[in-house]
Amino acid sequence: MTGVSETTWIGPVTGAGSPSRTDERFGIHATDLGVTWDGADGRVYVAFGDTYGEGWGGSGPGPADADWRRNTLAYSSDRELSTGLRLDGVVARPDGTARQALPSGAGSEVTVIPNSGVAVNGKQYLHYMSVRRWGRPGVWRTNYAGIAVSDDGGYTWDKPRYARWSNWWGRDRFQLGAFASTGGRVYLLGTTNGRYGEAYLARAELAELPETRAFEYWTGTGWSRHQGAAAAVLDGPVGEMSVGFHTVLGRWLLMHLDETRRGIVLRSAEHLTGPWTPGEVVVSGDEYPAVYGGFLHPWSLDGPDLYYLVSQWGPYNVYLARTRLLLD
């Protein structure tokens, strides 16, 4: 990648005024994230975080009694992204409005947030985090992260206990994650809870998903079954991540929130193990206050126009953006 030329803010994906009218059709008045992946069934899956309906206050999350769902899931077959991203449907309740997709427990679990998805052999796998408590902006504590599994197109999900990375001391390196699939394996870029950690790399054979004990970790020179041996492949601060292989560039693209640079950063590397370029800010928080996320649309990784989903905290909704790449 030789750089980027310009970024265009296409428009809302969710909320009032969105092309899909998600407030009217799906009861999604406000939400965030928009984790996207190719479901290998002719659709792109789009997973959202905490979602609110009637009674939403008009700014930021909440209140809890405004039809709060801890996460929701939508589908899209839209390929005309230059005019916005349209959602075909959602995992729905009987009345057609979006229901919570990933189940959430009680007790110390505040919410369950999706991080990254991948389709493998007819099943959908979704990396998620169980949030224990929120702190100051960019800081939170998770109970654990895990991999949820669906074999019915995302309609129902199982969260096996053997598919979790515990976070007893608050320093586990795979609480936020970004999936990539290549060479018969699934790779996972991961970082600690919050938005200030470094990024690490793990991998597993496709047939062994979602068993977390099947993962091995990049040490800087090879692979180890011990997570403690993992070496950082990317300096922090790294927030939410998304990774995909650009077929024209022949390089991996990584998008993530960088709190220090106050924006969404785009990096590239020949190999997932790095070295990664320092990257460029493609969406600035100075222009779009409290921007976060940055999830690559998987159907835009074959040309100069790179589409991705971002969120803003104030409007508390998801937007589509486009960055034009300078290709050799």
* Whether 86 contacts 77, CB under 8 Å: no
| pLDDT tens per residue across span 115-133 | 999 999 999 999 999 999 9
Q: Residues 231-236: contacts with CB within 8 Å, 24+ apart?
A: 231/200, 232/198, 232/199, 232/200, 233/189, 233/199, 233/200, 233/201, 233/272, 233/273, 233/274, 233/276, 234/189, 234/198, 234/199, 234/267, 234/274, 234/276, 235/198, 236/191, 236/196, 236/197, 236/198, 236/199
| pLDDT tens per residue across span 287-311 | 999 999 999 999 999 999 999 999 9
CATH of the domain at 48: 2.115.10.20
pLDDT grade, residue 254 (50/70/90)? very high
**What Rg, from alpha-carbon coordinates, does the chain have?**
18
Spatial CB neighbours of 1, under 8 Å, sequence gap ≥ 6: 246, 249, 251, 253, 268, 277, 325, 326, 327
pLDDT grade, residue 1 (50/70/90)? low
Looking at residue 116, its pLDDT comes to 98
User: For the whole model, what pTM was predicted?
Assistant: 0.97
Distance of CA 6 to the CA centre of its chain: 23
pLDDT grade, residue 2 (50/70/90)? low
Three-state SS for 49? coil
| pLDDT tens per residue across span 9-43 | 999 999 999 999 999 999 999 999 999 999 999 99
CA distance linking residue 78 with residue 177, whole number of Å: 26
**pLDDT more than 70, % of the chain:** 99
For the chain, the average pLDDT equals: 97
Question: Total domain count for the chain?
Answer: 1
| pLDDT tens per residue across span 46-105 | 999 999 999 999 999 999 999 999 999 999 999 999 999 999 999 999 999 999 999 998
pLDDT(158) > 60: yes
Looking at residue 72, its pLDDT comes to 98
Looking at residue 129, its pLDDT comes to 98
* Residue span of the structural domain in which 43 resides: 4-325
Looking at residue 11, its pLDDT comes to 98
Looking at residue 107, its pLDDT comes to 86
pLDDT grade, residue 106 (50/70/90)? confident
